[in-house]
Structure 1
Amino acid sequence: MRQTIRNIGACLGLAIAGSAWASPFPPFKDELFDYPEPVASLDGGRRLDVPYNEARDIDRRDEVPERRVRRTYVELGRNLQAEEKVLATPTGPLRYAQVGESVKGQPILVFVHGRNGDRRLGLNDWTFGGNFNRLKNLLVRSGGSYITVDAERLGDDDAGKVAALLTQLKSGAASPELILTCASMGGQVCWTIATSPTVASIDAMVLLGSDSTLERFDAMRRARRASLPIVMAHGTRDTVYAFDRQLAAFEAVRKRWPTDPVRFIGFDDGNHGTPIRMVDWRDTLNWIAANVSPTAAR
């Protein structure tokens, strides 16, 4: 099944030339971060069912469970050092950290934490199985950039600050592709932005254990007047936002707009934080790149 998914990914990679991404993201520690077998690829790759096992994916992967991953999962370097920045916005200052500089329009991923978090969550190389470290490496090695923000209470004012940052990033000379990524309750920020005029500034959205509804997709479609590549990832044992509700939202979107680039990744037996730890970022970034339309709203 993994080979089938890779073949699909290779075919999709041929379409990437139509966006700012000149080529697919190359492998980086794939043998450690590939989805564990057996993976079920359904609906032409639009839905993935991925097995999750705490004994394997936490206890054997982490040196200190949920606190420090084993060293082999992490690659550090001077090019991954974060630069602390502050952006003045109409609703107050936005503190954020940036790793790398986007080159020639290569993608910038902006990460929004969940409740009681801050920008440091997405900078930690050692928690969540080293997945943030891999994400940073994938982006920086490909000429892209990674940003993590302080979204504070995740309210409308906080979403406005993040929107101001996105607008500024998009207005640069290179006009980089922007991927807005939100974890848990941070999804409120994602959807506030996605249903506002600022949605024209983003090129894709990733929701990790967040709450989505058909009504929100409807509002996003009205605001953007075009489709938007969206990846939803959720654990089946999520007690914050029920898995069945998220899967139902995805299925409703697939029925209403069957050609829209929306993908759902379910982690069997996964909990609320599982998507942050387990999402395969190389697979996700390449899927997004293959589905970003050069004619989409900007």
Structure 2
Amino acid sequence: MARSTLSFGRFGVPKAVVFMTALVLAHGPARAETLQPFKDELFSYGRVLESRDGGDWLTVDYDEMRDINGRDEVPERRVKRPYVSLGVKRFQENETVDVGGHGLDVFRVGTPQNAAFTVIFLHGRGGDRRLGANDFSFGGNFNRLKNLAVDNGGVYYAPSARSFDSDGAADIAGLIDVVARRSPGRPIILSCASMGSFLCWGVSRDAKAVANLSGMMIMGGATDPDFMKSAAFARKLPLFLSHGSADKTYMADDQAALYTRLRKGKYPTRFVLFQAGTHGTPVRMTDWRDAINWILTR
């Protein structure tokens, strides 16, 4: 398996009545009420093979025949209809956001102003904002995220990364600044998949961006050996990790080692390992509601 290192130089009224109350804190972004359920019976983690550290480490059973072939109408292309609710499309659009004097193309679902919380998802190599907007790929997991955002008064952004270097990280830091001004004091969660993790680790070095974040998620991504030198580490920004044990692109053992090191230092971190899962498994199988709620309650 390859080892990588990093270098940087739904309609209707959204249950809300269920809209979440954000609490303004003196030492960073607000915390919010936890998200209400949405299709939890279909998307919650299945059989847990191992749980330790009070549930902060989970090893979850994964089976391709069940979790892809049994879930999808067309394997890896179109999930079965019960997994999606498409009324949420009424609340989504593409836009171009000014970040540092140039445009960043993003997909957005939910009301951008005064959102109760924000989730930003970054794709990997070969992707763009369309990946995070697709309702039917990855087992319907992005459709669930869309519905969780709208139903709970939040907003979800999926930008197209310009590059996976320091320039790309600067773009995302600029987007975080825009989001923070649109919804002052509200939680912002940055999530990155595969090579998109390079951008998460890059943003983790930007003190201004980190000050506006409530947590970060790395799904099937690379490990940053210098994370302990970052602004995010200094602030103890909650870090959620998910990975497939059979990932041949980035090694699960590297992420497990990072988790263990952080855990020993009492750093707020969580690790979900999908037993026998491959590189794309975390994007398909990570329970968005569980991960977001874990971050919002740190």
Specify the TM-score bucket, using the shorter chain as the normaliser. 0.7 to 0.9
Give the partner amino acid of 1:138: L
Point out where structure 1 has 5 or more consecutive residues left out of the alignment: 1-15, 292-298
Give the partner amino acid of 2:131: L
- Cα 1:40–1:202 shift into 2, 3 Å: same
Q: Within the alignment, does 1:280 sit opposite 2:281 as a pair?
A: no
Give the partner amino acid of 1:288: I
Q: Within the alignment, does 1:125 sit opposite 2:132 as a pair?
A: no
Determine the C-alpha separation between the residues in 2 that align with 1:223 and 1:64: 40
Provide the secondary structure at the position in 2 that maps to 1:132: helix
Point out where structure 2 has 5 or more consecutive residues left out of the alignment: 1-21
In the other structure, the counterpart of 1:153 is 163
In the other structure, the counterpart of 1:12 is none
- Cα 1:153–1:22 shift into 2, 3 Å: closer
In the other structure, the counterpart of 1:111 is 121
Larger deviation, residues 107-116 vs 80-89:
80-89
Shift of 1:224: 6.3
**Contact 2:31-2:186 within 8 A present in 1 as well:** no
Shift of 1:251: 0.6
Give the partner amino acid of 2:116: Q
Shift of 1:174: 3.2
In the other structure, the counterpart of 2:187 is 177
In the other structure, the counterpart of 2:221 is 210
Shift of 1:153: 2.5
Determine the C-alpha separation between the residues in 2 that align with 1:110 and 1:100: 12
Shift of 1:39: 4.3
Match of 2:205 among 195, 198, 201: 195
Shift of 1:67: 0.3
**Contact 2:190-2:215 within 8 A present in 1 as well:** yes
Matched residue pairs, number? Answer: 272
Shift of 1:278: 0.2
Larger deviation, residues 164-173 vs 101-110:
101-110
**Contact 2:88-2:146 within 8 A present in 1 as well:** no
Determine the C-alpha separation between the residues in 1 that align with 2:213 and 2:88: 28
In the other structure, the counterpart of 1:234 is 243
Determine the C-alpha separation between the residues in 1 that align with 2:183 and 2:254: 41
Provide the secondary structure at the position in 2 that maps to 1:24: coil
- Cα 1:168–1:236 shift into 2, 3 Å: same
Determine the C-alpha separation between the residues in 2 that align with 1:31 and 1:242: 30
Shift of 1:283: 1.0
- Cα 1:93–1:22 shift into 2, 3 Å: closer
Provide the secondary structure at the position in 2 that maps to 1:83: strand
Match of 1:271 among 271, 278, 281: 278
Determine the C-alpha separation between the residues in 2 that align with 1:138 and 1:284: 12
Give the partner amino acid of 1:117: G
Q: Within the alignment, does 1:100 sit opposite 2:110 as a pair?
A: yes
**Contact 2:220-2:280 within 8 A present in 1 as well:** yes
In the other structure, the counterpart of 2:7 is none
**Contact 1:80-1:140 within 8 A present in 2 as well:** no
- Cα 1:85–1:143 shift into 2, 3 Å: same
Determine the C-alpha separation between the residues in 2 that align with 1:22 and 1:177: 7
Deviations 1:174-217 (A, max 9, x none): 3321100100000000110011222112111011001123521x
Give the partner amino acid of 1:215: D
Give the partner amino acid of 1:178: I
Determine the C-alpha separation between the residues in 2 that align with 1:219 and 1:212: 14
Q: Within the alignment, does 1:68 sit opposite 2:75 as a pair?
A: no
Determine the C-alpha separation between the residues in 2 that align with 1:265 and 1:223: 20
Structure with the largest fraction of helix = 1
- Cα 1:80–1:176 shift into 2, 3 Å: farther
Determine the C-alpha separation between the residues in 1 that align with 2:268 and 2:240: 9
Determine the C-alpha separation between the residues in 1 that align with 2:100 and 2:167: 9
Determine the C-alpha separation between the residues in 1 that align with 2:272 and 2:120: 20
Determine the C-alpha separation between the residues in 2 that align with 1:240 and 1:55: 22
